[in-house]
A and B are shown apart, each in its own frame.
Chain A
Amino acid sequence: MSLELRRVSLRVGAETHIHPTDLVCEPGSFNVLLGTTLAGKTTLMKLMAGLERPTSGEVHFGGRDVTGVSVRNRNVSMVYQQFINYPNMSVYENIASPLKVARLPDDEIKRRVGTFAELLRLTPMLGRRPSELSGGQQQRTAMARALVKDADLVLLDEPLANLDFKLREELRDELPRLFANRDCIVVYATTEPVEALLFGGHTACLFEGRVVQFGPTGEVYRSPLDLTSAQVFSDPPINTAQVTKAGGDFRLADGGSFPVPAGHAGLADGAYTLGVRPHHVSPAPEGAQPVAIEGDVLVTELSGSESIIHFTFHERTWVSQAHGIHPFEVGTRQRLYADMSKALVFDGAGRRIAGQSTT
């Protein structure tokens, strides 16, 4: 069964929460909604589930128009950012609750709860109350509750956001496995581009209540339709610079210039915005066309094996995500290299007209 949104929008009073949106999720697909907080991810999910009624447009499920059909009469399950469980029920009763509502026979309930408790490693905790579990176990209980009922549509609203780093990594690895043999549609909302890349499937980039791009995750990442989509799908944020093309050169505002990368020779002269992903900026020349740029270091974050260097370049904040440890002093002027052969080129309206991130 496929889920289809046709020109779905939501307005509350004078505020538009979701602009008219078209979206088709294929049966058995894993779909990521990627966007910052308040981009409209949760609202879009509520519209998909039937928790909110769209102001206009239609929601179709399996070819049937389900606009306005209550969530009770749809086969949907959802996991939230907060760990939502029934507080005075045991883990077993929590997982069993949707099955009890559906009036399944007791031994069938027992079998299914057992299967999913095992899958989510909750078997030793079945007798406990949610308040006696760790955050990760509480969230796994909520996930078991969502999975146990064989829903057609499973919505996961930033389920890992409130977990600590280690648990997040762990559950991230488990998630795709949980859905591997199911033909339900999974929709997963997240603020982190890394998660979208990790899960694959399809990704929708959301910005201010609009789906700016939807497609196979790798394609959306490599070929963003416009600057907004590239900005949503980049962490650390994508670097931008205003350039003017004159003949064979891209000119920067301060008079610096560099040759137009080989692939973009056909562009007409005029003003463009270049987008360079942070891992294409490094302290040493790398790639096919490293162009030297100078910037004042704002802050350097060092992790085990890489440095994230924030610096100002043409009055904009740029970020370099570089291999190795580069302990630059704050406030010093440093020379870095941007691999312009990997730059994305956007026109005056923000549409990408050339360039592709290959990695």
Chain B
Amino acid sequence: MNKTHDNRAWFFVLPVVALVAFNAIIPLMTVVNYSVQETFGDNVFFWAGVTWFEQVLQSQRFHNALGRQLIFTFTILAIEIPLGVAIALAMPRKGPWVPVCLVLMALPLLIPWNVVGAMWNIFALPDIGLLGRSLNALGFNYNFTRQPGDAWFTLILMDVWHWTSLVVLLAYAGLVSIPDAYYQAARIDGASSFAIFRYIQLPKMKRVLTIAVLLRFMDSFMIYTELSVLTGGGPGNATTLLSIDLVKIALGQFDLGPAAAMSLIYFLIILLLSWVFYTLMMRNEQQ
């Protein structure tokens, strides 16, 4: 076979290269630039080497924020994935209720993120919010603006409310793609409903669940908008996750060097953990 070599092809790639450069590579290089230099304004820079990276990696504040971030992410994954699968299993596969269920499930995903934060903030206020007042009326001493435990409870409840739907929709898509014959075959074998779940539904949902875990992992690791409206990282630093901390350092204290170094570390952590997740979940596929 003769392949035609034509350098004009590069022109077709150029717009994409320009776009990616403009919205990803150039900003990223700016961050890299800041992360290895010290500046006192007026565009005067001094070489700082890896000082900022060392400072961030050794700072107790970063460790605490990372710790909170990991607790938050793994808590919501542990709740949203099983809950999403359970809801998807309970949803009807056919009939007039299917579109109703799907629309109800999709609703939380259609609400702008800052509105979700504002909604839950008002909903949870201990004096006027429906949730806050109800809990207090039931005898719980609930105040998410003062008590760290209550703030965490509200934050996790909000995230579960907002994002479980995504897991449900993905898991449901996986479920409806299983041909009826599989269920019949299992019934003929005399398999229990747990066995059907374990040996038919779960393996058939594996790919979509991998995507669900990855999406929820990345998104929850980067959560900012809803959190900043709901608690703003408080009370104290109780719910200050990585993104909130980063914004405080970069825009609150204007420590551009450490903030840039932290951004890169933050980015690498997400990349690394996503890779680990993906490899673990896809391990059996390659065997």
Contacts and interface: CB of A to CB of B under 8 A. Distances in A.
B111 interface: no
Interface string A117-135: 0000000000001000000
A97 B189 contact: yes
A49 B188 contact: yes
B93 to A, nearest CB: 16
Main SS class of interface, B = helix
Interface residues of B, number: 17
Contact count band on A: 20 to 34
A82 B183 CA distance: 13
B284 A78 contact: no
Contacts of B187: 51, 70-72
B199 A88 contact: yes
B190 A86 contact: no
Nearest to A76: B188
Given A78-B184, A80-B185, A87-B204, A101 B190 contact: yes
Contacts of B182: 84
Nearest to B182: A84
A102 interface: yes
Given A86-B200, A88-B199, A80 B181 contact: yes
B179 interface: yes
Contacts of A49: 188
A84 B189 contact: no
Contact of B199 (A82, A89, A129): A89
Nearest to A97: B189
Contact of B190 (A82, A87, A98): A98
Contacts of B189: 97-98, 101, 145
A102 B190 contact: yes
B186 to A, nearest CB: 8
Nearest to B181: A80
A141 interface: no
Interface string B172-212: 00000001011011011111000100011001100000000
Interface in B256-287: 284, 287
B203 A78 contact: no
Nearest to A102: B190
Contacts of A77: 188
Interface in B204-244: 204
A129 B187 CA distance: 21
Nearest to B187: A71
A243 B176 CA distance: 53
Interface in A65-116: 70-72, 76-78, 80, 82, 84, 86-89, 97-98, 101-102
A23 B47 CA distance: 91
Given A86-B199, A88-B284, A72 B181 contact: no
A84 B204 CA distance: 12
A102 B195 CA distance: 14
B188 A82 contact: no
Contacts of A129: 287
Contacts of A80: 181, 184-185
Contact of A82 (B181, B191, B195, B204): B181
Nearest to B191: A101
A84 B200 CA distance: 10
Nearest to B287: A129
B189 to A, nearest CB: 5
A88 B182 CA distance: 13
A84 B181 contact: yes
A78 B179 CA distance: 15
A184 to B, nearest CB: 14
A102 B191 CA distance: 10
Nearest to A85: B185
Nearest to A51: B184
Interface in B85-144: none
A70 B189 CA distance: 12
Contacts of B190: 72, 98, 101-102
A80 B128 CA distance: 61
A80 B185 CA distance: 9
A86 B204 CA distance: 10
Determine which residue in A70, A88, A102 has the highest number of CB atoms from chain B within 10 A of its CB, and name it.
A88
Contacts of B181: 80, 82, 84
A87 B188 contact: no
Given A98-B189, A101-B191, A88 B184 contact: no
List 8 A-B pairs, minimum CB-CB distance, nearest first: A88-B203, A80-B181, A87-B203, A101-B190, A84-B185, A72-B190, A86-B199, A98-B189
Interface of B: 179, 181-182, 184-185, 187-191, 195, 199-200, 203-204, 284, 287
5 contacts: A46-B184, A86-B203, A97-B191, A101-B195, A129-B287
Given A51-B184, A88-B199, 5 more contacts: A71-B188, A78-B184, A84-B181, A86-B200, A101-B190
Interface of A: 46, 49, 51, 70-72, 76-78, 80, 82, 84, 86-89, 97-98, 101-102, 129, 145
